[in-house]
Structure 1
Amino acid sequence: MRYYQLSDGDTGRLVVSTGEGLYDLTAAKPRLQSLRDLLAAANVAEQPPDDVAARHVAADNELSPDDLDGTRTVPVHADEVWAAGVTYQISEEARREESDTPDMYLDVYDAERPEIFFKSTPSRTVGPGEAVGIRRDSEWDVPEPELGIVLYEGETVGYTIGNDVSSRSIEGQNPLYLPQAKVYDRCCAIGPSVVTDIEDPHSLAISMTIHRDGERVYSGETNTDEMVRTCEELVDCYTTHNAVPELAVLLTGTSLVPDEGFTLRADDRVDIDVERIGTLSNPVTTV
């Protein structure tokens, strides 16, 4: 199933797409206002979340696809967003190009332990249609389209799309500047949905386009089968010896990297599509 979060004034509405229709779960069960509510209910009932949702799917709470327009927000309000780095060969190559200490990225790419780092908090995360940020003190900024793993109490419950916006100029100056290059206002976008029934996350097509002044200035595509790490491996590294929150998203790295010299600008639009999950679209603003 595919879950969306809609904004409804001061409250939210949880909507599910079953493949046969679109249904307002909050209208059927007012306590189900978010994916967190659904996952908590499923945990208490010791049932899969899709089974809990299916009990509240009915004709009288069916919606039109037009009801999603302009009302979608972050589909999962994760307590924390973490990310993995150097999980694709092109990412390793790009980060070596930007860095004054390039060998360290080759070491991570080939190492037993993956790179896992903290990315975002709820206040720094935006949803579909909201503007992602580029730092005012950075000269080289890029989007990073990634498959996101949604975790409830450390267990994988679904998948989403993430945009791990990064300052390559700041990180390139010194790897110790990674937190400043990665964590700042509007540094992360998540959406447009969370999908719970993806059997193999290692065979999903990913594409990204960037538009500027009505013209396409970047286009690229890849597949998650190019990852050198598995989702299970990344989740294990994130959760081991770590007090993970109730609800988290773990981004799995990127292999779509614009050519050296390209940088995002305010008013650009970034569109990221992941097979079966949808398209995450965000304008760009300076923060």
Structure 2
Amino acid sequence: MRYYRSDGGGSVSLIAADDSAAYDLSETEAEPTSFLELASAASLTDRTVDDVARGLIGEAPTIELESVEDDLVRPIDPDEVWAAGVTYSISQEARQEEGGLAESYLEAYEGDRPEVYFKATPSRTVGPNDRVGIRGDSEWDAPEPEMTIVLYDEEIVGFTVGNDMCSRSIERENLLYLPQSKIYAKNCAIGPCIATGETVGDPLDLEMHMSIERDGETVFEEETSTAELVRSCEELVDYYTRYNEVPEASVLLTGTSIMVPDDVSLEEDDVISIEIEDIGVLTNTVEQL
């Protein structure tokens, strides 16, 4: 199933959708308002999140997803957001001309240990239809579309779409500036929903598409597949959790699958759309910070 959160009318609703209908689980006796409540119940009863949801669907009213599209909020409020880097060949190849940085990226791509870094707190993370930020001291800014793992108690419980916003000019200037290029206000977006493994199937076999629109015109568009990911989800989670105090709820972005060229940089009011097969479309507008 896919799980959405809607904040229409000032109250948050948790919506579960399958191929036949969408159900407002918040209108059941249990009144769950977050995916984490389902994940917690599943963990305590040794069931899957979908099993818990199916136990509620019988008493849940059906709704039209289209009626709440404008009210969707982050499908999860993660305690922390982390990310993996240089996990696609396109990411490594795009940095071959970056002087002294190229060797470091190649080593991360080919090495046994993946690049895993802290990305955001909840206050820096936005949801569908919210604005993502670009820094005022950066000259080249890019969205980075990423299939994103949702974790509960260090276990994979679902997948969502992520946008790992990056100030490329700052990153390119010096590798030690990477945290500044990655961590700032409104630096990450996730959504529009969480899709469970039952719905996604093989997470390394999903088509992906990203577009950037400016004043109604498409300035960039490209597609790829998570089949190009060179590391498994389990491997990335293993390194993320290794010797780390991992919070109860977190998300892990799995790496940049599409790289915009040097002559494309985000501007105020650009619209970024990232679609991942079997999960959904994450759309955000750009804000100049």
Q: TM-score normalised by the shorter chain: which range applies? A: over 0.9
2:264 maps to 1:265: no
Does the 8 Å CA contact 1:24/1:62 hold for their aligned counterparts? yes
Name the residue aligned to 2:57. Answer: 57
Name the residue aligned to 2:252. Answer: 250
Name the residue aligned to 2:221. Answer: 219
Return the letter of the residue paired with 2:252: L
Does the 8 Å CA contact 1:5/1:13 hold for their aligned counterparts? yes
Which runs of structure 2 are paired with 1:12-51 in the superposition (5 Å)? 12-51=12-51
CA distance in 2, matches of 1:270, 1:106: 28
Name the residue aligned to 1:140. Answer: 140
Aligned-pair identity (%): 48
Relative distance call for 1:189 and 1:150 in structure 2 (3 A) is same
Name the residue aligned to 2:186. Answer: 186
Return the letter of the residue paired with 1:94: A
Name the residue aligned to 2:243. Answer: 241
Does the 8 Å CA contact 1:96/1:102 hold for their aligned counterparts? yes
Greater Cα shift, 4-13 or 144-153: 4-13
Relative distance call for 1:86 and 1:127 in structure 2 (3 A) is same
How far 1:9 moved relative to its partner?
5.0
TM-score, normalisation: structure 1? 0.97
- CA shift digits 1:228-279 (9 cap, x unpaired): 1111110111111111110111001112111112110011000000000010
How far 1:99 moved relative to its partner?
5.2
Other structure's SS at 1:189 match: strand
- CA shift digits 1:33-61 (9 cap, x unpaired): 10111111222222111111111113751
Does the 8 Å CA contact 2:32/2:38 hold for their aligned counterparts? yes
Q: How many residues align?
A: 287
Structure 1: gaps (5+ residues): none
Return the letter of the residue paired with 1:270: I
User: CA RMSD of the aligned region, Å?
Assistant: 1.3
Name the residue aligned to 1:117. Answer: 117
Name the residue aligned to 1:82. Answer: 82
Other structure's SS at 1:193 match: strand
TM-score, normalisation: structure 2? 0.96
Return the letter of the residue paired with 1:214: G
CA distance in 1, matches of 2:170, 2:153: 33
Which runs of structure 2 are paired with 1:86-101 in the superposition (5 Å)? 86-98=86-98, 100-101=100-101
- CA shift digits 1:204-224 (9 cap, x unpaired): 000101000110000000001
How far 1:67 moved relative to its partner?
2.3
Structure 2: gaps (5+ residues): none
CA distance in 1, matches of 2:106, 2:150: 28
CA distance in 1, matches of 2:223, 2:238: 27
CA distance in 2, matches of 1:105, 1:212: 31
Does the 8 Å CA contact 1:81/1:118 hold for their aligned counterparts? yes
CA distance in 1, matches of 2:218, 2:98: 24
Return the letter of the residue paired with 1:285: E
CA distance in 2, matches of 1:45, 1:99: 53
